[in-house]
Amino acid sequence: MRTTLFFAFLAITVGSVQSCNWFSSPPPTFCDTACIKENIRFSGTHEDIPYVEISVANCLPDTLSWSYSGLGTKRKIGFAYLIGRTVKINNDFIKVQFKDNQYAWILFNDCVTGRGFQIQLPYDKATPFRLKSSGLNPLDPKFSIEEGLIANTDRGNLFVEDAMDGKKAMMTFGEKLDIDYDVIHDHIDSVSITRNKLWAKIKIGNKWVVKEKNITMQ
């Protein structure tokens, strides 16, 4: 009798565990990771019609290209090669800011981790691109950033740059934080960034603290 009860209990327990596994939800992603099949293209308002295009292959961003009418050439580079990893992107979580026909800033977040990336793409072939893989992008609802500003961190400081005129400002956190950019909200809960003020809620040790600074961009 005891043996029968034991196996009955064991069957119920195993069944419960399996049921939990079957019906448990995967961890939420930053944005929809559904397969993208069509190329993504953004165009500026300058008369030369500058553009940035992301070609897609096997549901992933494959090649980044940028040019404008009359340039006579098209700059391009492998997407994963440029940023050093494979990412999932979503058209609704990509932002491009054009500086006439001089350069474009492309901001996007990895849909799996939420990590922010920022790339400055100059149309002049002699000028190298700039990559920031620790971006605090306004695509993240916890990051309030005034239009036209590019914000990022190096774990010890908060940096801001005007996308149009290149003027900059910064604020120190006071110490270097152990930030994993793939889970940035473990250490940077939220930010509010304008051309006049920087504000951030950050985790130092086991305590959440607020840092803020009035700035003049130059």
pLDDT(149) > 90: yes
The answer to whether residue 1 scores a pLDDT higher than 90 is no
CB distance 167 to 148 below 8 Å: no
What confidence score (pLDDT) does residue 27 get? 63
Phi and psi at residue 139, in whole multiples of 5°? -70, -20
Q: At 67, is the pLDDT very low, low, confident or very high (cuts 50, 70, 90)? A: very high
Task: Write out the two tokens for 11.
Answer: 């069957």
Give the span between the Cα atoms of 178 and 184, in whole angstroms: 10
Q: What is the pLDDT of residue 70?
A: 92
Write out 154-217 in H/E/C secondary structure.
CCCEEEEEECCCCCEEEEECCCCCCCCHHHHHHCEEEEEECCCEEEEEEEECCEEEEEEEECCC
Dump pLDDT digits (tens) for 7-52.
Answer: 444 344 444 444 444 445 556 889 999 999 999 999 999 999 999 9
Higher confidence at residue 146 or residue 17?
A: 146
- Contact call for residues 201 and 188 (beta carbons, < 8 A): yes
pLDDT at 61 over 70: yes
Q: Tell me the pairing of strands 94-99 and 103-109.
A: antiparallel
Does residue 80 or residue 7 have the better pLDDT?
80
Burial of 160-179, coded b for 16+ CB within 10 Å and e otherwise, reads bbebeeeeebebebeeebeb
Tens-digit pLDDT profile for residues 150-181: 999 999 999 999 999 999 999 999 999 999 99
HSE of 161, CA atoms in CB hemisphere, 13 A = 16
Supply the pLDDT for residue 25: 55
Tell me the C-alpha distance between 78 and 196, whole Å.
Answer: 37
Supply the pLDDT for residue 194. Answer: 98
Give the residue with greater pLDDT, 125 vs 121.
Answer: 121
pLDDT in the model for residue 20: 44
Q: Which helix (H) or strand (E) holds 118?
A: strand 116-122
Tens of pLDDT along 174-218? 999 999 999 999 999 999 999 999 999 999 999 999 999 999 999
